[in-house]
Amino acid sequence: MFKTLDFRISSAVLECIHTLENAGFEAWLVGGCVRDMLRGVRPADFDQCSSAPPETVMGLFRRAFPTGLRHGTITVVLGKTRQSKIPRSTSGKA
């Protein structure tokens, strides 16, 4: 029997996703939040992956900081919520 999952994704997370999509990019939830939701556990945070280049992400959000620029990781702060943005690999490698 399948379990019904009822998770609320915060408005800050949805705002980030919508901002990226409205700018013409794709965005996905990735990592531990997906694992946790599949296990029926409420995620502690919501990492995201986007087709937007890091420089573009930093231009779209007022409070965006390069926290792992070598790998393209940007942290966006909306209110009290911190979210990591990781660029999608275009090399075909994980």
- Give the CATH number of the domain where residue 49 resides: 3.30.460.10
Domain that holds residue 62: 11-87
End-to-end Cα distance, the chain = 33
* Spatial separation of the C-alpha atoms in residues 21 and 67, rounded to whole Å: 22
- The pTM of the whole model exceeds 0.75: yes
Write out pLDDT tens, residues 17-42: 999 999 999 999 999 989 988 888 88
Residues 6+ apart with CB under 8 A from 51: 25, 26, 27, 87, 88
Residue 40 lies in a domain: yes
Residue pair 51/25 in contact (Cβ under 8 Å)? The answer is: yes
Residues shown for the chain: 94
Residue 76 lies in a domain: yes
- Residue 91: per-residue pLDDT: 42
Residue 2 lies in a domain: no
